[in-house]
Structure 1
Amino acid sequence: MSKQQPAKYLQVAALIEERIEKRSYQAGDKLPSIRELSTTLSLSKNTIIRAYQQLEGSGKITAASRSGFVVSTPHAPVKPRLNTPKYVDLMGLSKTIMNLPTDKNVVSFGSAHPDTEFPAIRSLYAEIGRHSRYQHHIPSHYQLPPGNEHLLKQLVAVNRELGITTSVDELLITNGAQQAISLSLQAITRPGDIVLVESPSYFGNLLLLESLGLKVVEVPASSHDGMDLHALQQVLTRWQVKAIITNPSFNNPTGYLMPTQKRLEFLALTTGIPIIEDDVFGGLAYQSRPLPLRALDSENRVIYCNSLSKTLDSRLRIGWVIAGKYQDTIEKRLMTDNMGSPNLMHSAVGEFLSTGKYRQHLGKIRRSYAKKQKLFHQRLSHELDQYSHLQGHYHLSLPQGGFLCWLTLPEGIDGLTLFHQALEKGISILPGEMFSTHQHHRHCLRLSFATYEDTPKWQAALAGLASIIAEQ
């Protein structure tokens, strides 16, 4: 007599539970809709509903108001993996990857540059052209810190939209957010000091730490809500941390969004320690987002760094820092580093921001990225699921803003090898190895959907990427 198979809804429940256990679905992740899973598995909607009811009854998943189901957050904290402080050594790998020649035919999933195919970008460069024609009428001079006054006034309004009340006197204009973070680190640390970062962490910040001779200690972070606060507490108890760098809103590389309550707990745990808040993706929320750490800070110790690189164009190199109690020190360093800012760019961007086109532009790109994310996620998941040995063994983050996502693959897969294999096929990606001083993320990839188009060319690229992954 043949063994009787479990009811179909129990088979579906077991499949979802297996994916949760293997962290393909992580705490807080939204599960496929009933209709979507019904189509994917070729089963009735009633079967899927019963499966979800079964999982909800066991506490594995939770019904979200008008949002389907999400994976439940475990009550017992998982014991975190603690890393020891160490010097960064990523420059060689980063130069190798970033200097590899690419041509216009390469399909780029690796770049963190925004989509510039919007009317506002054309208006911006028209404004820059007009201002360039005026320059010969103006006497040559240095634009000293804090920067162009008209631009500063417009940035006050930009920050207000982000939830930060500030004034012209509290802002310093920098050469992108990277310079803002670099100057902040120089103001609050000395070579050999320990700086705490989330893991994985943006490789540009890690390279800054390397160039300044600083040690880094990494705290594991979820691709859903960020830094593990239990691990954070253990690290702070064990080592003397002089500064913290965090990117809590639509994080680079994972896309996570730290909720308000967790932000408050994070601030309470780290009291007295300077925090550098990297908020370059903060303006790209699809719906809404919590207040920045700077707005929640009661100790005036959060140094807020932002730029227009992710919302307009990375070529502008216009950033700013709100440094609180550290402003005087950072302004002195900005003066000696620059002895002036690019007058043309600052005056033109200030004028562009004053037209109101930037606010309209933000609305368009948020809607565009939200749509692209959905298409990209569905298409890549579909291609990976074509391979039975990959089904349920990967996790693709689903951020609520920005244009980056994080693909976690089975641990035997090597992301750096995938990078080279994909580039040979005309596909650009970034390996997870670039986002840590340890080897914990070698099986991960950072992907961008900023310029994704749901066309045969891009679909073929995702199919090719899935095929390379499956072969490994």
Structure 2
Amino acid sequence: MDVELSSNKYLATEQHIKTQIEKGLFHPDDRLPSIRQLSEQLGVSKNTVIRAYQELEATGWVYSVPKSGYRVKAPNTTNWDTPSQPQKVDLLSVTKSVLSPPKGRLKLLAGSAHPNINNPAIRSLYAEIGRHSRLQTQLPGYYQLPPGDEQLVRQLLKITHDLGVPAGSKEIAITHGAQQAISLALRALTKPGDIVAVESPCYFGNLLLLESLGLQALEIPSSVSHGIDIPSLQSALDKWQVKTLLLTPNFTNPTGSRMPLANRELLLEVTGSLPLIEDDVFGSLAFDRPIASLKELDNQDRVIYVNSLSKTLDSRLRIGWLLSGRYQPLVEKYQLCDNMGSSNLMQSAVGQFLTTGKYRSHLSKMKRLYQTNQKQFQSLLIQALDNYPHLKGRYHLSKPEGSFLNWITLPESVDSYAVYQDCLKHKLGILPGTVFGTNDQYRNCLRFTVANIEESKEWKEGIVTLAKLIAKHVH
């Protein structure tokens, strides 16, 4: 294998290691060649080998041992290479059970994906909402028709522009959260019985939405480092009559994965003229420079772009928006049929708040907070898990480059729903992997969120208890 001829050396190096593992040259827990050895063998730099090993660790192929290099990780059931059959979705019962409000105060608030609201900007926001509420009796009654409040439209277009997606006021529609925006996009592109490709694991809200619209979910494997697997997607498109692809390139829920720029460009190439729905609700929470969105890269006007303020300000606002391009007339038609208008009060108040400039400084603070919280949570959890010899080296914790999501893959014998139930008894909030797929393929995974982590004794004790309960279910 001539790695130097590869246009992306670290990907070629990564594939070389994968191939050796797949051929059985290395078995679980075998020590892999050192960084120096592989660098000399393949004629690449040490940094290239380091990155290849880091990517393989992120995707569950290898694990690192301090001062001892990298070893082969035992396979688990979540590393599947081909798309499943299209599935009718039936997640309502289990999802309702895990979303029901807990009884009493939680010691570890790491289950729900709500942002941190304990900060001055949110208090200022609700003061603005209060002021607008008092003004309502002085204003004539009317329906807030699409695209929405003019001032809020202008402010949301500025936010979108900051993310590299320029758009005009005739291309946007303000919605009741991102979920309604995705629903409108799906209705504009599909009819009941159609197949929709989704990355897997997939946010359970999107799976429920497909179920409610009578659509079939075709789950495409994705990794915690690269997002959706392009060869698997291409295979699915060759085999099935897919009507659209719904995905989150920036910090997908639940894994927090971010798709590299090269993969985004390749995805647009292999999908041809297929309409795409891009959910970018976490896009503003990158810890480093943002990567160009699919909408920004699209030159065929086939990407419907969805965003909201639910992850950056407060999920209770229920303010989302979509840029639907040539599908805008259909989107507005369905929106009018659904609502005959949106909340005048909330839109006008949030629009006014966004003019103050407080949102941008708030966003900077939140990104720093979430980055700190990610590092702190991961450090504490790894330390607690590694106290159990039968667990060490047998799990993989994602390392998102943005957002407040975390995803852990445990040995395949673990029942995450049983872990979840145990955690509830101890007032610990987490989510089981069972709700993020249609075939129960993530039963050995858990999702955590770190938006509301605190530097407190209770939180640290909660993480120690969490590790203890996980260890109890690992055999």
Asked if these proteins are the same fold (TM beyond 0.5), I'd say yes
Tell me which residue corresponds to 1:84.
85
Tell me which residue corresponds to 2:263.
262
In structure 2, C-alpha distance between the alignment counterparts of 1:62 and 1:98, rounded to whole Å: 48
| Offset, 1:209 | 0.2
* 1:220/1:227 contact within 8 Å kept: yes
* 2:35/2:46 contact within 8 Å kept: no
Counterpart secondary structure, 2:448: strand
Tell me which residue corresponds to 1:25.
none
Tell me which residue corresponds to 2:445.
444
Counterpart secondary structure, 1:169: coil
| Offset, 1:80 | 1.5
In structure 1, C-alpha distance between the alignment counterparts of 2:35 and 2:451, rounded to whole Å: 33
Alignment of 1:36-55 (within 5 A): 53=36
Verify: 1:429 aligned to 2:430, yes or no: yes
| Offset, 1:424 | 0.4
In structure 1, C-alpha distance between the alignment counterparts of 2:47 and 2:318, rounded to whole Å: 40
* 2:35/2:50 contact within 8 Å kept: no
| Offset, 1:58 | 6.3
| Offset, 1:64 | 4.4
Aligned AA (2:314): D
* 2:106/2:429 contact within 8 Å kept: no
* 1:380/1:463 contact within 8 Å kept: yes
Encode CA deviations 1:137-192: one digit per residue, 9 max, x unaligned: 10111111110001001111110111100111111000000000001111111111
| Offset, 1:117 | 1.1
Tell me which residue corresponds to 1:226.
227
Encode CA deviations 1:280-304: one digit per residue, 9 max, x unaligned: 0000011112111111111101000
Tell me which residue corresponds to 2:71.
none
TM-score relative to the length of structure 2:
0.85
In structure 2, C-alpha distance between the alignment counterparts of 1:60 and 1:438, rounded to whole Å: 43
Aligned AA (2:374): Q
Structure 1: state its 5+ residue gaps.
Answer: 1-16, 23-49
Tell me which residue corresponds to 2:64.
none
| Offset, 1:79 | 7.9
Alignment of 1:203-222 (within 5 A): 203-222=204-223
* 1:109/1:447 contact within 8 Å kept: yes
Change (3 A) 1:190 1:366: same
Counterpart secondary structure, 1:168: coil
Tell me which residue corresponds to 2:460.
459
Change (3 A) 1:361 1:59: farther
Tell me which residue corresponds to 1:342.
343
Tell me which residue corresponds to 1:172.
173
Encode CA deviations 1:201-243: one digit per residue, 9 max, x unaligned: 0000000000111011101000011111111111111100001
| Offset, 1:62 | 7.2
* 1:63/1:70 contact within 8 Å kept: no
Verify: 1:149 aligned to 2:150, yes or no: yes
Encode CA deviations 1:239-266: one digit per residue, 9 max, x unaligned: 0000110011011100011011100100
Aligned AA (1:306): N
Alignment of 1:279-428 (within 5 A): 279-428=280-429
| Offset, 1:21 | 7.0
Aligned AA (1:280): V
Change (3 A) 1:142 1:419: same
Q: CA RMSD in A?
A: 2.4
In structure 1, C-alpha distance between the alignment counterparts of 2:21 and 2:109, rounded to whole Å: 32
Aligned AA (1:371): T
Change (3 A) 1:190 1:406: same
In structure 1, C-alpha distance between the alignment counterparts of 2:106 and 2:232, rounded to whole Å: 44
| Offset, 1:134 | 1.0
* 2:105/2:427 contact within 8 Å kept: no
Aligned-residue sequence identity (percent) comes to: 48
In structure 2, C-alpha distance between the alignment counterparts of 1:73 and 1:444, rounded to whole Å: 19
Change (3 A) 1:420 1:379: same
Structure 2: state its 5+ residue gaps.
Answer: 1-16, 23-32, 62-78
| Offset, 1:69 | 5.6
| Offset, 1:455 | 1.8
In structure 1, C-alpha distance between the alignment counterparts of 2:419 and 2:313, rounded to whole Å: 31
Counterpart secondary structure, 1:101: coil
Tell me which residue corresponds to 1:107.
108
Change (3 A) 1:56 1:370: farther
Counterpart secondary structure, 1:198: strand
| Offset, 1:105 | 3.4
TM-score relative to the length of structure 1:
0.86
Counterpart secondary structure, 2:174: strand
Aligned AA (1:448): T
Tell me which residue corresponds to 1:7.
none
* 2:107/2:459 contact within 8 Å kept: no
Verify: 1:71 aligned to 2:53, yes or no: yes
In structure 1, C-alpha distance between the alignment counterparts of 2:169 and 2:101, rounded to whole Å: 41
* 1:62/1:71 contact within 8 Å kept: no
Tell me which residue corresponds to 1:44.
none
Aligned AA (2:221): P
In structure 1, C-alpha distance between the alignment counterparts of 2:359 and 2:120, rounded to whole Å: 11
In structure 1, C-alpha distance between the alignment counterparts of 2:163 and 2:235, rounded to whole Å: 32
| Offset, 1:60 | 13
Aligned AA (1:238): K
Change (3 A) 1:72 1:378: closer
* 2:285/2:402 contact within 8 Å kept: yes
Aligned length: 425
| Offset, 1:104 | 2.1
In structure 1, C-alpha distance between the alignment counterparts of 2:428 and 2:42, rounded to whole Å: 41
* 2:80/2:221 contact within 8 Å kept: no
In structure 2, C-alpha distance between the alignment counterparts of 1:356 and 1:244, rounded to whole Å: 35
Q: Which segment drifts farther, 97-106 or 374-383?
A: 97-106
Verify: 1:245 aligned to 2:227, yes or no: no
Encode CA deviations 1:34-82: one digit per residue, 9 max, x unaligned: xxxxxxxxxxxxxxxx9654565567997549x97662667xx998133
Change (3 A) 1:188 1:255: same
